[in-house]
């Protein structure tokens, strides 16, 4: 796990890249890689790579980057892990390849030398990397199917730049900070900035599951090599017909966990009281890791309530023989850490606080790597959205056949008292009859027609036109036929990709912690997508996951009400503002305002919300 960056002056009339810019961008990512750093330049100095290293695989200097092939043709800077690199290495060695290190980076480099872009379908892992081919004079970029690892790009028509962080690119000093209205609108709608946008017009994210080639003519259009929606759609068309669903899930999950334990350092676990992380602990033991260090967060505000994770987490840790660390976080610590949190947050997000503190506690425990249960709800229909969204679509789809009826109903309801009690209610008639619209209702922080009240109306209008939220929710392509599979694709490509995974990256890296997600794995998705249509009852997926370890989870944990992996941010914000409004209603919108103030320039700032408005 690392921080990567690079510059390619592809236009013959472009000035040679500045070494100081490359170093400034690289070293703005210090905590992504405190164990080492490097730089590389092509002979003509038109291409430069930077790298910050967090040593996880091959801890020796032989694993350092940027890495150059033995024949000096290829150079690579790589962020992530290739979990099947040992199998790929053995295959390459059988074909005569000679390795100089024990790293997955060198496997990536030699596999590209042999297969080029075709190698992407063979990689199991989380990755963002750049490879320079000095013979063809081409730069090749790629990002993993789920988008676990970020890769931001910028092109000014002369020079192409990339890095693992938006703030790192800005630190280089050569990229305009002109705002991107679509990014600002996206944050106000979702509480995160949807890819490929950022807050800045000149910085984009390479889409997940895509590669891109840059040569002397500039960047070519990016190409998709893996699709989450397509994987769900194929599973929907070919549902699992066998009776042994537990066996299917157990086999696929154990394989994924075993792959994600690949490391030359100890691998810990973020343990909540939920099924996902508890099942991972059992599967880690089944995979051969006899003693695992688990970290659980505790909050005084949750003591004695259903949100207290510690009691059930302790029982699970004891059942599987794990070392269990309970780390208490106070309101005072939150306020002390807040400036550091906002500084580390690469793009604005209303989430990530939980990950920040559990990653901090994990680092305090002396670990570099931890597994997370993130992704179980999206994969195995764990959210209430899997039931709500299909029901809304089924009930409201008929009125979508009448042009503009939904918008007229929405405008009528907006003038009623009902809208003041529930701002989303008017939008049900307009959006609820199709999957993308119903998903917007379910996950949206604000709906498009609300934006004029929370941000500059002109920016809202321009941003909505550039973002096109409904199309962005589900890009062009066949949707899964099964409703549960459809929602799984929506949750995976939106909430999980743009918020949960991105938050895991910046919050974990801020503490030099590599967060691995065995439930967010494209190989696992292809194995379990055919199971999703069989999850006809609420909780079916979690029951299958709970039964996956050799020693299954107790029914008391599997069947308890879902609480999530939460922090009492509503209470903490209320304590600071002395607001008497609804704590739960305050949390997301007031925190969104707090975050946006930290990112917005003076002319973009909006008035801080009162408690009443936020609620």
Partnered with residue 131 across adjacent β-strands are: 76, 140
Q: Mapping DSSP to helix (H, G, I), strand (E, B) and coil, where does residue 373 land?
A: coil
Of 587, 578, 592, 586, nearest to 612 (Cα)?
586
Strands 2-8 and 36-41: unpaired
For residues 403 and 213, what is the distance between their CA atoms, to the nearest angstrom?
43
- 8 Å CB contact between 367 and 268: yes
Catalytic residue among 2, 134, 294, 593: 2
Which residue reads 């989380």 in tokens? 126
- What Rg, from alpha-carbon coordinates, does the chain have? 24
Scanning the structure block, which residue is given the tokens 């020079």?
159
Other residues' Cβ atoms within 10 Å of the Cβ of residue 234: 16
Q: What b/e readout covers 95-114, taking b as 16+ CB neighbours within 10 angstroms?
A: eebeeebbbbbbbbbbbbbe
3-state secondary structure of 254: helix
Structure tokens at 123: 């990689």
Determine the Cα angle at 146 with ends 143 and 152, to 5°. 40
> Hey, what are 99's tokens?
């390795």
For tokens 């321009």, name the residue.
Answer: 462
Q: Is 2 a catalytic residue?
A: yes
What is d(CA 309, CA 156) in angstroms, rounded to the nearest whole number? 49
Measured distance CA(254)–CA(566) in Å, rounded:
27
Closest CA to 166 of 198, 213, 144: 198
Q: How far apart are CA 46 and CA 14, in angstroms?
A: 9
Give the whole-angstrom CA distance, residue 196 versus residue 206.
Answer: 6
- How far apart CA 528 and CA 534 sit, in angstroms, is 11
The torsion angles phi and psi of 362, rounded to 5 degrees, stand at -65, -40
Per-residue tokens: 353 = 């606080």
Give the dihedral sign, CA 602/606/611/615. negative
- Per the DSSP assignment, residues forming a β-bridge with 142 are 129, 211
Find, among 483, 252, 81, the residue nearest to 491 by Cα.
483
- 8's CB contacts (< 8 A; 6+ apart) are 17, 46, 47, 132, 139, 159, 160, 161, 214
H/E run at residue 219: strand 218-219
- Nearest-angstrom CA–CA distance, 35 and 403: 60
Q: What are phi and psi of 513, to 5 degrees?
A: -115, 125
Positions marked catalytic: 2
């Amino acid at each position: 796990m690392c921080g990567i960056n690079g510059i390619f002056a592809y236009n013959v009339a472009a000035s040679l890249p500045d070494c100081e810019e490359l170093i400034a961008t690289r070293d703005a990512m210090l905590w992504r890689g405190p164990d080492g750093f490097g730089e590389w330049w092509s002979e003509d100095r038109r291409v430069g790579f930077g790298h910050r290293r967090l040593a996880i695989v091959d801890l020796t200097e032989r694993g350092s980057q940027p890495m150059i092939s033995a024949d000096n043709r290829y150079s690579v800077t790589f962020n992530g892990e290739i979990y099947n690199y040992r199998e790929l290495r053995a295959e390459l060695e059988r074909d005569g390849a000679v390795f100089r290190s024990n790293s997955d980076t060198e496997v990536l480099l030699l596999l590209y030398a042999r297969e080029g872009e075709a190698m992407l379908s063979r990689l199991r892992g989380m990755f963002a990397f750049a490879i320079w081919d000095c013979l063809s004079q081409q730069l090749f970029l790629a990002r993993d199917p789920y988008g676990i690892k970020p890769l931001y790009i910028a092109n000014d028509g002369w020079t192409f730049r990339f890095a693992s962080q938006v703030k790192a690119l800005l630190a280089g000093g050569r990229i305009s900070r002109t705002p991107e209205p679509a990014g600002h609108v996206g944050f106000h709608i979702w509480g995160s900035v949807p890819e490929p946008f950022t807050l800045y017009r000149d910085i984009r994210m390479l889409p997940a599951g895509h590669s891109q080639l840059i040569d002397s003519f500039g960047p070519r259009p990016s190409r998709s090599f893996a699709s989450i929606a397509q994987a769900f759609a194929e599973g929907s068309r070919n549902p699992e017909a066998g009776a042994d669903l537990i066996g299917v899930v157990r086999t696929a999950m154990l394989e994924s966990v075993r792959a994600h334990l690949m490391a030359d350092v100890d691998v810990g676990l973020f343990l909540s009281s939920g099924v996902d992380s508890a099942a991972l602990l059992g599967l880690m033991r089944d995979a051969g890791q006899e003693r695992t260090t688990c970290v659980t967060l505790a909050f005084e505000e949750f003591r004695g309530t259903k949100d207290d994770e510690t009691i059930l987490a302790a029982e699970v840790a004891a059942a599987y023989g794990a070392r269990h660390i309970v780390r208490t976080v106070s309101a005072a610590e939150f306020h002390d850490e807040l400036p550091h949190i906002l500084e580390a947050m690469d793009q604005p997000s209303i989430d990530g606080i939980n990950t920040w503190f559990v990653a901090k506690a994990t680092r305090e425990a002396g670990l570099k790597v931890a597994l997370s249960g993130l992704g179980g709800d999206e994969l195995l229909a764990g959210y209430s959205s899997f039931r709500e969204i299909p029901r809304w679509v089924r009930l409201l789809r008929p009125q979508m056949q009448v042009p503009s009826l939904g918008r007229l109903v929405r405008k009528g309801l907006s003038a009623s008292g009902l809208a003041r009690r529930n701002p989303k209610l008017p939008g049900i008639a307009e959006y609820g009859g199709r999957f993308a619209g119903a998903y917007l209702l379910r996950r949206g922080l604000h709906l498009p027609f609300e934006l004029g009240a929370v941000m500059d109306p002109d920016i809202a209008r321009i941003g909505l036109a550039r973002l096109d939220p409904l199309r962005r929710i589900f890009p062009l392509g066949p949707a899964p036929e099964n409703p549960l599979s459809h929602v799984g694709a929506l949750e995976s490509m939106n909430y999980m990709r743009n918020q949960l995974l991105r938050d895991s990256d910046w919050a974990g890296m801020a503490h030099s912690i590599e967060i691995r997600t065995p439930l967010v794995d494209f190989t696992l998705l292809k194995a379990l997508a055919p199971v999703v249509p069989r999850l006809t009852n609420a909780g079916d997926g979690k029951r299958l996951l709970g039964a996956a370890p050799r020693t299954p989870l107790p029914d008391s944990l599997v069947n308890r009400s879902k609480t999530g992996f939460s922090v009492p941010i509503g209470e903490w914000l209320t304590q600071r503002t002395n607001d008497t409004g609804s704590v739960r209603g305050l949390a997301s919108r007031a925190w969104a305002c707090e975050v946006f103030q930290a990112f917005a320039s003076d002319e973009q700032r909006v008035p801080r919300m009162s408690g009443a408005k936020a609620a």
